Amino acid sequence: MANIFQINQSRLFTLEQANDLLPLIYRITEESSKEVKYLMSCIDALPEKNSETSHDLQNRINSIIERWQNKLERLGMRPKGLWLADFDYGDGYFCWKFPETKIQYQHGYQDGFTGRTLITGESVVDAKAKRDHKNESSLSPN
């Protein structure tokens, strides 16, 4: 678990680093999700949906989601939707959506959530080999 906490830095993750960080991300997301669900049920129970109370609750929901996004960004992730976040691995993203308990999907930079595919051992090894080759090429004097 060395160096998985680099605050406020964009970074590249290995699959192992992403999975090591996932329990923390899961906990943060679960807490935020519970808060939002509770406040949404409070709104649903209101007799007037356009009341000042409803607007206050909606503002609280937005604040919770924004706080969740900020926490993930500080850990180096990229929030992409509600309870959905990506880990940059250099050739695309490892893609996670709550309540998944393990990183199982990836997608290219341009693909987005709908383009995500199941991670296979080969795909991760290929991505690492490409990244290592790029790093070696950038160090060569040519």
Neighbours of 58 (CB within 10 A): 14
Q: Is residue 85 part of a domain?
A: yes
25: which residues sit within 8 A by CB, 6+ positions away? 72, 75, 77, 85, 96
Q: Is residue 21 part of a domain?
A: yes
pLDDT at res. 141: 53
Q: Is residue 94 part of a domain?
A: yes
3-state secondary structure of 3: coil
Q: Is residue 9 part of a domain?
A: no
* Residue 53 exposed, middle or buried by CB count within 10 Å (0-12, 13-18, 19+): middle
- Under 8 Å between Cβ of 14 and 128: yes
How many domains in the chain?
A: 1
pLDDT 10s per residue in the chain (142 long)?
455 555 555 689 999 999 999 999 999 999 999 999 999 999 999 988 778 999 999 999 999 999 999 999 999 999 999 999 999 999 999 999 999 999 999 999 998 888 999 998 765 555 554 555 454 544 545 5
pLDDT at res. 33: 98
Q: Is residue 40 part of a domain?
A: yes
Q: Is residue 26 part of a domain?
A: yes
pLDDT at res. 123: 56
Q: Is residue 65 part of a domain?
A: yes
Q: Is residue 92 part of a domain?
A: yes
35: which residues sit within 8 A by CB, 6+ positions away? 64
42: containing domain:
15-137
